[in-house]
A and B are shown apart, each in its own frame.
Chain A
Amino acid sequence: MNHKLAFSWHSSSWFIAIMLALPIAALFYQAIGPSADVFQHLVDTVLLDYVQNTFILVFLVCLISSIIALPAAWLIAMCNFPGRKILQWALMLPMAMPAYIVAYIYTDMFDYAGPVQIALRAVFDWQSASDYWFFDIRTIPGAATVLALVLYPYLYLLARTSFLEQSTSLIQASRVLGSSALSSCIRVSLPLARPAIAVGLSLIAMETVADFATVNYFAVNTLTTAVYDTWIGHGSLTAAAQLSVMTLSVILLFVGLERFARRKQQVFQKSMLHEQEVRYQLTGCAKLLAMVWCWLLVFAGFLLPFTVLVNYAWHYFAESWTEEFFQYSANSLILAVIVAGLAVLCSILLGLYRRLVGSKYATIPARISTMGYALPGTVLAIGIIIPLTSADFLLNDMTELLWDWTPGLVFTGTSFALIFAYLIRFSAIAVGSIESSIDKISPSLDMVTRTLGHRPHSMIRKIHIPLIRKGVLAAFLLVFIESMKELPTALLLRPFNYETLATYVFQFASDEMLEQAALAAIVIVLVGLIPLIFLNRSLEQQH
């Protein structure tokens, strides 16, 4: 339905969209400038390695995730064994674990000086490292394993849902046509889940490309760490922008793949008649294997690292329970609340604009504002620095000219840059959540309200806002949580002497002293658990 809207609606919607798209435009603009040979130097020396590392890492993470997540998803969806009900959500727990914390804990454990190697040496009476072979975790395969341990839930979740939505009669038909349970899984269930698997793997690939902390901790150089090093180390914004554009094109590749896979899913996932769920009852050896496999994943991805964290916190409580811990918690909290509030406001505006205008081009602002989510934190940070630096210069030049006074770095030197960056990165989540709840309001409600004599503004107040309250709450919470956890953007954009919980934990992990920031790490993990509770509840309702 078309509504006549005030000019302010149009202008503010488009303004938000353009502001949120600014960093991407700035990246491309900066990337075509001259880079004082830094980029050429990179091309001549290490760039090829960085690109290669990035792709090898993505490949390995996807491979390992598939190997661990697909059997788990199939077992949970199609089989019955003790603990299945708990496992179906417990398998998502690793999602709450920041990868760099897991990396730290496993490095600690498997290092030469770690408990595993000490125990092996004691048992076999080896004297030094030259007496035996032990894998080195600070390698690409090591980083890939750690990343896969916390990223596999994406694939698990999508594949499990896909298996559950497959029509029971398809599986039964394959059985009657002579396939055993296993062969029916390989010939029917897996091919049918192909689109969902592709979506899951693209998400994992995107997260892997965007990861900064883990690869940095393991000293594996990828495109993302290169962006960071080029800016912090070489101070070349242009070279950083050029690397960012490269990273971005890799990401876009996976975004495209994901979109393509989702389209295909619609043909494949035409779940026809949903009958009673029939699960294979596992017995004996199969039952034991299934349980061991699933619990092993939960254990390795969550229980073990979390127990270690709790243990650190217990032993180093005095060192953890510090002034800084509270200061940085407060910083994170305030930052997250501001960002979540702003993101929700922008999304409501964009969502209602789309609803009220109802023409094709009215969806553009909302679409533009969701582009930021695909940006890795480091790339986004570079994209933000570019326009804000110009803005700072412009402001200082102007005030100097007018009043012979300079206010300093108003934009880049304060938390303004952080808030702006978070807003760009996470408004996609808020837009998605609020848009879907607006779409659930039947258009005939709009029509009936208007025929009952209400103007658009009073309709928004009386009908739309009350009906999207739940979506608004969910949007606020999700943005809040993501902001609490975000690391790479904060590392690059935080003002001098300003720390968030995440940067604080990361500093300590980098300095091999995570023990002393264990409380902060636990807070980050606990905050990360909140969305899983919501996710689990919505999944329970579906099935």
Chain B
Amino acid sequence: MTLSSSPALRISDLHCSYAGVDILMGLDLSLGKNEILCLLGPSGCGKTTTLKLIAGLLPPTQGRIEINGNVVDNGRFNLAPEKRNVGMIFQDYALFPHLTVTDNVLFSLHKQSKTKQQEKLDYMLNLVNLSEFSDRYPHQLSGGQQQRVAIARALASSPELLLLDEPFSNIDSQVRHHLIEEMRGLLKSYNMSAIFVTHSKEEAFAFADRLAVFNQGKIEQLGTPSELYNQPATRFVADFLGKVNYLDAVVVDEYSVNTVLGVISSEQKLTAAVGEQKLLALRPQQLKLVIAEQGIATITQQQFLGITTHCTIGIATSMLTENELELSVSMQQPMTVGDMVNVAVESHDLVLFELD
């Protein structure tokens, strides 16, 4: 029975081990209707295993999975993959090489009437813009076209939940962004609940409604992409989602910390007590450089990246020693290596971590 109020997917206390190695250790996750959730993490962190457990392609060692309120896995019972009504897009698309585009798309519908099949086929091929390619074999298609066949095939089976395993990793970086936009639009117009696995943060940011950063079989943090990027809960999340500068900081009042760059104030109240030693995390674009002859820092390296310029600055941490602190800064206008600069910090909610 499908309960309209239940989430598209609910996972509780999921464990999985393979060949004696624990891959998942107590995973909890829930996915709302029509939501796209991305599992992001380094390779080997258990994210693909999670997808396969949801699809029923691997048995969990412990835990419970519900799809739209129906229990598909609990300690005693595993529903066969063909009965779960999920769609899956594989990293290599897994198109059947011996079947044409038509037969691939209709694979799950072979028991239905010919007219129904034709209707569905026309609709699907039209949706993914492949109507002229219906008689081709997979090896006669480009990577992007193959991917669209895989999507059409998965959606043709009318799944309640779509699982995508690194679907963009085989696509040229030039067209990848376009395809991500296209596929997101497609899933949204189809009101599809989806879980998407990747190790690329750019793909995750562009594709997901919500993001779960995975590390060693556990979710480190779950939230919207901007929440995770701007307010990382752990240093792993902070580092994984982009470059971070860490500065030693001492809390001076409810809003401010003192660092080598001077006193920096937060927009929100800090949770740390006054006088505590902390580590302040700053993204490169939260720093602003101003050229000044008596500046506190020197530009030591510069890398022109087109949209921004990335540079490294060195700051003498104490007047007496040669000890230098290196910071990464993103800026709009290139400067010159060797320029002396002053550093300002854009106003935002400060992120503080415990010292190592």
Contacts and interface: CB of A to CB of B under 8 A. Distances in A.
Interface in A129-146: none
Contacts of A180: 80, 82
Interface string A262-305: 00000110101100101000000000000000000000000000
A169 interface: yes
Interface stretch (B88-96, B223-231, B239-247): B88-96
A270 B18 contact: no
Contacts of A194: 98
Interface stretch (A76-84, A171-179, A518-526): A171-179
Interface in A161-190: 167, 169-170, 172-180, 187-188
Contacts of B86: 176
A13 to B, nearest CB: 39
Contact of A177 (B56, B58, B157): B157
B108 interface: yes
A192 interface: yes
A276 B110 CA distance: 30
Contact of A176 (B18, B82, B97, B139): B82
Contact of A175 (B57, B96, B97, B110): B57
Nearest to B58: A278
Nearest to A175: B81
B98 A191 contact: yes
Nearest to B98: A191
Given A180-B82, A267-B97, A273 B92 contact: yes
Contacts of B92: 167, 169, 272-273
Interface residues of A, number: 24
Contact of A169 (B58, B90, B108, B110): B90
B87 interface: yes
A173 B139 contact: no
Nearest to A179: B82
Interface in B75-123: 80-82, 84, 86-88, 90-92, 94, 96-98, 107-108, 110
Contacts of B153: 177
A188 B96 contact: yes
Contacts of B94: 167, 169-170, 172-173
Contact of A174 (B52, B56, B107, B154): B107
Given A167-B92, A169-B91, A270-B139, A176 B81 contact: yes
A268 B139 CA distance: 9
Interface in A224-274: 267-268, 270, 272-273
A163 to B, nearest CB: 14
A114 to B, nearest CB: 47
Contacts of A175: 55-57, 80-82
B87 A176 contact: yes
B139 A276 contact: no
Contacts of B96: 170, 173-174, 188, 191-192
Nearest to B83: A178
9 contacts: A167-B94, A169-B90, A172-B88, A175-B56, A176-B82, A176-B84, A176-B154, A177-B107, A278-B57
Q: Which 3 A-B pairs have the closest CB atoms?
A: A173-B94, A169-B94, A272-B92
Interface of A: 167, 169-170, 172-180, 187-188, 191-192, 194, 267-268, 270, 272-273, 276, 278
Given A173-B94, A175-B82, 19 more contacts: A169-B94, A172-B57, A172-B81, A174-B96, A174-B107, A175-B80, A175-B81, A176-B86, A176-B87, A177-B153, A178-B82, A179-B107, A180-B82, A191-B96, A191-B98, A267-B97, A267-B139, A268-B98, A276-B18
